[in-house]
Amino acid sequence: MKHWIEAARLRTLPLSVSGIIVGSIYALSNPTEAINTPTEVFSWKIFGFALLTTLGLQVLSNFANDYGDGVKGTDNEDRVGPKRAIQSGVITPQEMKKAIIITSILTLLSAITLIYFAFGESNFGYSIFFLLLGIAAIASAIRYTVGNSAYGYKGFGDLFVFVFFGLVSTLGVNFLYSKEVDPILILPAISIGLLSVGVLNLNNMRDEESDRKSGKNTIVVQMGGKKAKTYHFALIITAMVLVLAFAVLSNYRFDQYLFLLAYIPLTKHLITVSKNQEPKLLDPELKKLALSTFFLSLLLTICMISLVSDIIVNLFLGGR
């Protein structure tokens, strides 16, 4: 069990649910015209299964990454950071393959349950769309490093993370509640996506040398370490600017800018990256950036809600 927990890479899980939290609380704090109260638009069932589905997708991605890089020999003695399960031999490729299949099935079942709670027996078109989206997410998580045409080896991993853990996570879960897309929510959705890509970019900066040797052509390998730093700064700073723009356009009061506290660890992170001369020393920054993103999402959701205590009481007393 210890080895499976390590293979699931728990430190990546808070990052994966950041979009779910922001999209859900935005729905709670912004009832639609058709749904007038927070308790009508918000559903604990949708929230719970959205979390389960996203966590399943993240664990699946981690298992598939371990398997794909392990069988290809990408995870070798040159790799920096914690040893992967297949690399160290504590889990065999066959065992990991079974785990990928089981996790895929469980994630799909969770997604189907989520869709049912969101749309019931109506909105058949929406149900089919989100089902196809869920299948695409599962397939993409596996194909990141698995197979001869793994897109992670061609530099498309950043796009997958941005789309599914940023846009789909935030905008998608909000649509499950409200049945509409609020354009302004695109700003924090993009921000969370960019910060998630930043974590992947850090990982690729750390592994640049070993990835280049093994033929894993990540964006970092393609552009080089120096340009990858510039790219990293662009990701983080753009994300910070967009969240601030979201607050301004939403007419936040002075006390609703509490989320700016999360900019402190993000700024410290950028300073550390700018001074770094040895990529392997960036490994601790992965956890820091992931937790900073999660911290930002929590603070942002708190700032979204007026009369927080009243809404929470209403949810526990009358929520679904």
Poorest-pLDDT segment among 13-17, 71-75, 149-153: 71-75
Q: Under a CB-based contact definition with an 8 Å cutoff, are residues 10 and 286 in contact?
A: no
- Per-domain boundaries in the chain: 2-318
Single-letter amino acid code for the residue at 191: S
Q: What is the pLDDT of residue 317?
A: 57
Which tokens sit at 310?
Answer: 């009243």
Distance CA 199, CA 215 (A): 21
Confidence tier at 307 by pLDDT (50, 70, 90): very low
In whole angstroms, how far apart are CA 121 and each of 109, 117, 126, 198? 17, 9, 11, 39
For the segment 45-56, the average pLDDT, to the nearest whole number, is 95
Proportion of the chain above pLDDT 70, given as a percent = 89
At 216 the pLDDT is 86
On the CB side of 227, how many CA atoms lie within 13 Å of its CA? 7
pLDDT digits (tens, 9 = 90+) for 258-281: 999 999 999 999 999 999 999 888
Tokens representing residue 282 in the block? 């960036």
Which of these ranges, 76-90, 94-108, 138-152, 240-254, has the smallest mean pLDDT? 76-90
Residue 81 banded pLDDT, cuts 50, 70, 90:
low
Worst-scoring range by mean pLDDT, 13-17, 172-176, 192-196, 308-312? 308-312
- pLDDT, residue 147, reads 78
Q: What integer pLDDT is reported at residue 36 of this predicted model?
A: 47
Q: Please tell me the class of the 2-318 domain.
A: mainly alpha
Per-chain mean pLDDT for the chain? 88
Cβ(62)–Cβ(213) under 8 Å? no
Spatial separation of the C-alpha atoms in residues 20 and 189, rounded to whole Å: 10
Can you tell me which residue has the tokens 């920096």? 80
Mean of the pLDDT values across residues 231-251?
96
- Cα separation, 294 vs 286, whole angstroms: 12
The reported pLDDT for the residue numbered 99 is 94
| pLDDT on residue 316 | 58
* % residues pLDDT > 90 (the chain): 59
Q: Which long-range contacts (CB under 8 A, 24 or more apart) does 239-243 make?
A: 239/190, 239/191, 239/192, 239/194, 239/195, 239/198, 240/191, 240/266, 242/187, 242/188, 242/190, 242/191, 242/194, 243/187, 243/188, 243/191, 243/296, 243/300
Contacts of 183 (CB under 8 A, 6+ apart): none
Please tell me the predicted confidence (pLDDT) of residue 146.
87
H helix or E strand, kind and range, residue 44: helix 44-72
Dihedral sign for Cα atoms in the order 277, 280, 284, 287: positive
Per-residue pLDDT reduced to its tens digit, 101-159: 999 999 999 999 999 999 988 889 999 999 999 999 999 999 988 877 889 888 899 99
- Residues 233-255, mean pLDDT to the nearest whole number: 94
pLDDT grade for 318, boundaries at 50, 70 and 90: low
Q: For position 291, what pLDDT does the model report? A: 95
Higher pLDDT, 71 or 170: 170
The residue-averaged pLDDT of 236-261 equals: 94
Q: In sequence order, what DSSP letters do the residues of 247-272 get, joined into one string?
A: HHHTT--GGGGGGGGGHHHHHHHHHH
